[in-house]
Structure 1
C-alpha cells in the first residue's frame, strides 16, 4: 500500500526544550518551533521561558544576565520580568508603553522542561504526560540529547517501528528481532497510539547478559511496548521475561522527547531506564552501546531528509509492521487540521 508522507507539526502541544539540570540562573538560549527562546530560573527556582530577542534591538537576551527575577539585555540594559514585560530601562525612568517580549507556559515533568507554544487556553487541558520513572530511584537512567537534521515526522516514523533495529545495528538488536515479526496489537485514542507484541522466546543480547549476570544462551519470552503519547513524547519499553527464580523481568524503558526546531531540524532528548543491574558501572557499560545506536539512527534520518530535500516526499510503500506508523501520521494530520 502506498501512502503519502507529509510534513508539519502541531503547535498546541508541550515540547521539551531542555533537561531540568540545564536550566539554571544563567540564561540558556535555544530554539523550538522556529522561535528563539531563552530559559532561566527565578530566585524561587521556577523556570521562565521568554522570546530570546531584546525588544529594543535584535540582540539575544540569552547573552545577557539574570538579576533577581528579571533577565537583563547585555546590549540595551532593558530588564524583563517572568511575564516578558519590560520593567526597567537604564536610560530613562519611564518604560516605553507595551515594551515586552513573548512569554511561554512552562512545566517541569520528570527531569525535563516542557514549554507550550500554542493557544494558552488549551494548555491546562493537555498537561505534559507524566514520566515519573525518569526520577524514580527504582529505575536507573542515563541519556543524552542532540539536534537531528531531519523533520520531526521522520523521528516519529522511526520510533513507531523497531523492526529496523536488526538491520541498522545487529549488535544492540535482541536476537528475537531477526525473522518475521508477530502481529502488532494497537490501541488508539484521539491523540495517542499504544501498541505491543509478544516475541518468541530467544536469548537476550550478549551485552545485556554480561551486565545483568544472566544467561546469554537461555531463551526467554520477550515483549515490546510502544506509546506515542503526545506530539513531543514517545515512551517505549522492552521486557525480557525472566522467571522469578532468576530475578524476574528485566525491563528497559526508552523515553524520546522530540521538539521541532524547524521543518528540517529536531531536538532529540533520549533516556534509557532499566529496573536491573543498579549502579554507575552498569550504566557506563550500557551508555556507549545505546549512544552508538542512536547516532546511527540520527545519521540515517538525516540522510532521509537530504533525499526529501532533493527529490520531495514522494510516496512510501508500507508493510504490516507500519500499522502504528500510519496511525501516528493520522493523529498528527488531524491535530494539524484542528489548528487550521
Structure 2
C-alpha cells in the first residue's frame, strides 16, 4: 500500500546528471512510476513514462532520433509529448497510441517532476530554494539511495537529538544536551522548528569550514523544516556579536522509489565572512560520512519494521514534536488521495 503522496513535486535528478548523459536517456523510478528523462534540442527537459504503448518495454532501452524516442523492441517512435508518431510495420500509428508525459521544472541544481494527478502540477509549484541559486551561496551535492521509507527519513531529520549518539564529533565543545525546541510551527502542509544553542567554542569541523577563530565562542541557531513530502531543509547559523557569521543549509530532496526505498538528493550550501577556500571539500567529506551513518540506521529501522510480524506501538518523546506533526501531514495527504 502506498505510504507517500503522489500529488507532489519530487526531485528526479540534478542538472549535472542530465548534462552527463548528453543525448542518452536518464531512467528513474519515482513514486512507483518508471520515468525516462532526456534533454531536447531547445535545452528543455522531457519526461515520459518509461514504457512503450505497444508492449511493456522500457523506452530508455531504445535510442533517440533528435527529439524523438525510438523503442528498442518494435521501433515505435514517440515525440516529447508522448504521442506515437511512427510504427514501422504500418503506415499510420494506431489511434490513441501514446505514453504519459510528465511536467518538469528545472530550478537551480534540481530537476523536479510531477507524476501525480494530471493537471495538478499547475496548482502547486515546486518549493522555492533561493539558497541554491547563488547570491553569495556556494553548494556541493551528492545522490544517495536509501532502503527505507520516505517517512522514516523525514522523522529522522526532524529530530537531531540523535547527534550525541550518532555524530558526537559534530557537537560544539561543552554542549552536553540540545535545548528543547523553542518553537514548532505547523501549517496545513509544512512543519518547522527552531532551536537556539548556548555560546560555545567551535567544533573542529565548524572551524575548518567557516574560517572563524576557534578560540572564540559563538551562538548557534538551528531550524529544520518539512517543506513538502519531497523536500527537507536544515539551516545551521553560527552567530557572533553582530549577527550571523557563517550560514549552512542542508537540503534533502527526498524522492520515493517504492514504499521501502528512497532516493536522497543532498545539497550542502554555505556562506560566511571568512569561509575557508576548501570549505566545499571539507563540508562534502563531513556530511558524506554523516549520511553514511544516517543511512545505516534508517535501513536498520526499516528492516526491523519489516521483521515485526505484529505491528508495535512505539512511544514518542518531547523531541518528536515536529516529526509527529510531519507524520500526520503525510498520512493525511495519502488518505486524501485514496479518498479521491
Short-chain TM bin? over 0.9
Counterpart residue number, 2:271: 275
Q: Could you tell me which of 126, 143, 146 is aligned with 2:144?
A: 146
Counterpart residue number, 2:305: 308
Post-superposition CA distance 1:116-136 (Å, at most 9, x none): 111123211111011122121
TM-score by length of 1: 0.92
Counterpart residue number, 1:3: none
CA drift at 1:190 = 0.5
Distance 2:174 2:335 in 1: 39
Query: Is 1:198 the equivalent of 2:199?
Result: no
Does the 8 Å CA contact 2:27/2:60 hold for their aligned counterparts?
yes
Does the 8 Å CA contact 2:210/2:275 hold for their aligned counterparts?
no
Distance 2:268 2:176 in 1: 22
CA change 1:173–1:180 in 2 (3 A) is closer
Counterpart residue number, 2:331: 333
CA drift at 1:221 = 1.2
CA drift at 1:232 = 0.3
Instruction: Describe the SS at the equivalent of 2:278.
Output: helix
Q: Could you tell me which of 198, 204, 207 is aligned with 2:205?
A: 207
Does the 8 Å CA contact 1:232/1:259 hold for their aligned counterparts?
yes
Please give the root-mean-square deviation of Cα atoms over the aligned residues, in Å: 1.9
Distance 1:297 1:176 in 2: 24
Distance 1:250 1:115 in 2: 32
Distance 2:30 2:196 in 1: 37
Distance 1:43 1:165 in 2: 47
TM-score by length of 2: 0.92
Query: Is 1:284 the equivalent of 2:281?
Result: yes
Does the 8 Å CA contact 1:33/1:262 hold for their aligned counterparts?
yes
Does the 8 Å CA contact 2:209/2:278 hold for their aligned counterparts?
no
Counterpart residue number, 2:249: 253
Unmatched tracts of structure 1, length 5 or more: 1-5
Instruction: Describe the SS at the equivalent of 2:170.
Output: coil
Distance 1:97 1:185 in 2: 57
Instruction: Describe the SS at the equivalent of 2:152.
Output: helix
Does the 8 Å CA contact 1:155/1:301 hold for their aligned counterparts?
yes
Post-superposition CA distance 1:64-112 (Å, at most 9, x none): 2222222111222211111211111222221122212122111122211
Distance 2:213 2:102 in 1: 50
CA drift at 1:333 = 1.5
Does the 8 Å CA contact 1:198/1:224 hold for their aligned counterparts?
yes
Q: Could you tell me which of 76, 79, 82 is aligned with 2:77?
A: 79
Distance 2:129 2:281 in 1: 23
Does the 8 Å CA contact 2:211/2:276 hold for their aligned counterparts?
no
Does the 8 Å CA contact 1:9/1:332 hold for their aligned counterparts?
yes
Distance 1:7 1:154 in 2: 14
CA drift at 1:177 = 5.5
